[in-house]
């Protein structure tokens, strides 16, 4: 009889080595997987913002002007009696939300100004037949896939607490819904104080801008951007759906000897400037027009410090938070004829 072939078992050290090799391979694989997922989320964000850009173009075609920042004049306070409907509310028909738009329009006498009998955006009458306020409608088209925060405004328990239909105990909870996409209405906070008459972006508080007003070119003018803000944020609220480009915590832009806006030495953009109370905030109570803190301005959770932006021609590109501050603020102004080369054009 032939001897039986014996099979050698793995030793403990061989098993350990095999596990270490597998862990090493997984460690190499995971960053690539995370990178691919983030790239996919960024592409989805870009597509959502492009749809906003197209909606703005459709509004421009219909009315020959971009929408105003708010249906009511500044100053406003979030959820206040003079708070107007945001620019996002006005482009709902072009974002496949005609019923939502019509419901708000009917309950607000076609967005008539408050002085002429209109209804403020947080008036209790602006609700559907079930009694739910339109501000609580969650719009996936306004949320960045990379955003990890709550999509309900942190002010739901305070300034928005009287909104009909709020129920934070439900699953999912019902509260005032935010938007990760906001107007880039001015270069700096000084131009948004008071009645914001000096706002120098495209989506403005006091007037509607036409395409011919954008003399610097629609392809090189920023009009909207992302924001991580969770408190001073509500897609329906014209008092909060905006940011500025310069860091409110550093010196504002000045006019140089050639008449162009320029950022002083040491000043920075507001891109990804923010945090939580006790850290650096985008706006403190002292320099906030509303007297309420804003944690974030232009910001995102994309990797590499990228914040996606909508241009006035509906294109979408990412600006990184290390962009030259002077270049960034010059991309915001639509008609100052400043010399500027957009770094995002070549980088994608």
Look at residue 239 in the predicted model and tell me its pLDDT.
94
Q: Give the model's confidence band at 34: pLDDT under 50 very low, under 70 low, under 90 confident, else very high.
A: low
Q: What is the DSSP string of 254-275?
A: EE-TTS-EEPPTT--B-TT-B-
CB-based burial label for 81 (10 Å; 0-12, 13-18, 19+): exposed
At 127 the three-state DSSP class reads strand
Look at residue 14 in the predicted model and tell me its pLDDT.
76
User: Of all residues in the chain, what percent carry a pLDDT higher than 90?
Assistant: 73
For residue 33, pLDDT over 90 is answered with no
Look at residue 113 in the predicted model and tell me its pLDDT.
84
Look at residue 255 in the predicted model and tell me its pLDDT.
95
> In this structure, how many other beta carbons lie within 10 angstroms of the beta carbon of residue 25?
10
Q: Using CA atoms, how far apart are residues 82 and 92, in angstroms rounded to an integer? A: 21
Q: Using CA atoms, how far apart are residues 225 and 222, in angstroms rounded to an integer? A: 8
pLDDT digits (tens, 9 = 90+) for 260-269: 999 999 999 9
Least confident of 43-47, 109-113, 188-192: 109-113
Token pair for residue 64? 């020959």
Look at residue 17 in the predicted model and tell me its pLDDT.
80
pTM of the model: 0.89
Q: Using CA atoms, how far apart are residues 137 and 231, in angstroms rounded to an integer? A: 16
Q: Give the model's confidence band at 9: pLDDT under 50 very low, under 70 low, under 90 confident, else very high.
A: low
Look at residue 346 in the predicted model and tell me its pLDDT.
65
pLDDT digits (tens, 9 = 90+) for 137-181: 999 999 999 999 999 999 999 999 999 999 999 999 999 999 999
- DSSP element (H, E) containing 101: helix 98-107
CB-based burial label for 162 (10 Å; 0-12, 13-18, 19+): exposed
Q: Using CA atoms, how far apart are residues 268 and 208, in angstroms rounded to an integer? A: 29
At 253 the three-state DSSP class reads coil
Q: Using CA atoms, how far apart are residues 103 and 238, in angstroms rounded to an integer? A: 18
343 DSSP assignment: H
When pLDDT is averaged across residues 44-65 and rounded to a whole number, the result is: 98
Q: Give the model's confidence band at 8: pLDDT under 50 very low, under 70 low, under 90 confident, else very high.
A: low
Selection from 74, 86, 158, 165 nearest residue 121 by Cα? 86
Sequence spans of domains, the chain? 35-347
Look at residue 47 in the predicted model and tell me its pLDDT.
98
């Amino acid at each position: 009889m032939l001897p039986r072939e014996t099979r050698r078992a793995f030793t403990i050290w061989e098993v350990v080595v095999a596990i270490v090799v597998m862990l090493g391979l997984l460690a190499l694989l995971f960053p690539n997987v995370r990178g691919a997922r983030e790239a996919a989320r960024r592409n989805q964000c870009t597509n959502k913002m492009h749809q906003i850009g197209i909606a703005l173009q459709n509004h421009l075609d219909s009315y020959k002007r971009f929408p105003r920042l708010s249906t009511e004049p500044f100053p406003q306070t979030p959820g206040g009696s003079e708070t107007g409907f945001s620019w996002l509310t006005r482009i709902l028909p072009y974002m496949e939300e005609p019923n939502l738009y019509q419901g708000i329009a009917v309950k607000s006498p076609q967005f008539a100004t408050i002085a002429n009998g209109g209804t403020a955006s947080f008036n209790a009458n602006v609700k559907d037949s079930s009694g739910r306020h339109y501000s609580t409608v969650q719009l996936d088209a306004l949320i960045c896939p990379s955003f990890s925060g709550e999509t309900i405004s942190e002010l739901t328990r305070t300034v928005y607490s009287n909104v009909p239909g709020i129920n934070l105990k439900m699953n999912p909870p019902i509260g005032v819904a935010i938007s990760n996409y906001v107007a880039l209405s001015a270069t700096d906070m000084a131009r948004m104080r008071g009645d914001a008459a000096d706002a120098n972006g495209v989506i403005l508080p006091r007037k509607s801008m036409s395409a011919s007003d954008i003399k610097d070119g629609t392809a090189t003018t920023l009009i909207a951007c992302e924001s991580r803000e969770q408190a001073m944020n509500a897609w329906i609220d014209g008092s909060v759906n905006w940011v500025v480009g310069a860091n409110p915590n550093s010196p504002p832009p000045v006019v140089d000897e050639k008449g162009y806006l320029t950022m002083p030495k040491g000043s920075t953009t507001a891109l990804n400037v923010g945090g939580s109370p006790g850290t650096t905030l985008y706006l403190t109570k002292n320099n906030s027009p509303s007297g309420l803190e804003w944690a974030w301005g232009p910001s995102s959770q994309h990797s590499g410090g990228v914040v996606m932006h909508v241009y006035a021609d509906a294109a979408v590109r990412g600006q990184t938070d290390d962009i030259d501050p002077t270049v960034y603020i010059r991309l915001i102004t639509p008609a100052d004829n400043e010399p500027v080369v957009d770094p995002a054009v070549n980088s994608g």
